[in-house]
Structure 1
């Protein structure tokens, strides 16, 4: 009978569990289902109660001391931002957090290149939350969107070449400061390959800021495969 009263109480407001001495398992579960942060008032909560709490509200994790790995994982799967409440998070938790929410990387201190790549793979603009992004992450971000070049900052000529190879569309953002001779070197290298993607050829052909005869350029510098893909592009328009 007493438990029925307690259940009724926490179903209205889970925080009421703070007034209950030695709550039963059912009462604990009902409390965190109703009010996830009420986990802070439960001493030594069972694993399933902790998981229920963070599944209901990811930020309930901040009220759980020494949370087991399973609880931390459930929290970041619910919301990547939960990583901010985990001290020295394991690599897999970091990766799971940024897979769930790319911008969760802002809560990870000095994320590894592996974690950066996971975040950028989720969404390219994750790059703007990383103070010192690795080259691989920058190239991946640029390959996904030419706008990512605006988050890269200073770069060497070699780095710029890798960006141009990844996405020719960045030219429209950097044209005024671009070494045109170097650009043509990159284009000759890229278009001379057999494995150039059709999308790259399309982007090159549609790059209006580059005022050259692009058909003739591919005729002169493109591989046989590139020339065939150009024909496919022209016929498919």
Structure 2
């Protein structure tokens, strides 16, 4: 069964164009030009990914993103005409997995969708016959993370992580004791070239710490090495 994608953009031409390209890839598209209809769809359909325009006539993509994250962990891609870092950081902090700045090539949207779905399906694979609980697992200072089951606990508490958050945490655990730069993290997790002044990693690290109830100033688990990167000791 092909994946179901929610698409919300009040610019009809853009929404129709993205829909056309994604349908050509075989995806099922639920397309809306306003936020209220999209919110109704979230509650009635089992979705695999959401593409949300930030600016909508009745609400905004940030609000829809937060609503989705109250219950669901499928990937969210934001479409934005804004280029300010603060808007990107806000979207990533409240749970978005990626963002695309307008104007864009629809083929880029397709590529980003495929990347996010591939990661999501990989980490939500639940066929118990194929899972070895002892494989791909780290137990570090109260953090237990299992790549096969996509489960993670910290100090006995289960953490509900998006695929991106899981990937960041897993990469840091793989490099335990080493300082991992933002550039390395971004290119390993997103599979794209890192650009200067990219605050994407910082926003996701902040969200991870929030879920772990870690203080932002003196976190105990994911340490910030200023001017260098991040480290799990």
> Which interval holds the TM-score relative to the shorter structure?
under 0.3
Q: Give 1 or 2 for the bigger CA radius of gyration.
A: 1
**By percentage of residues, which structure has more helix?**
1
Give TM-score scaled by structure 2 length.
0.27
**By percentage of residues, which structure has more strand?**
2
The higher-RCO structure (CA 8 Å, 6+ apart) is: 2
Give TM-score scaled by structure 1 length.
0.27
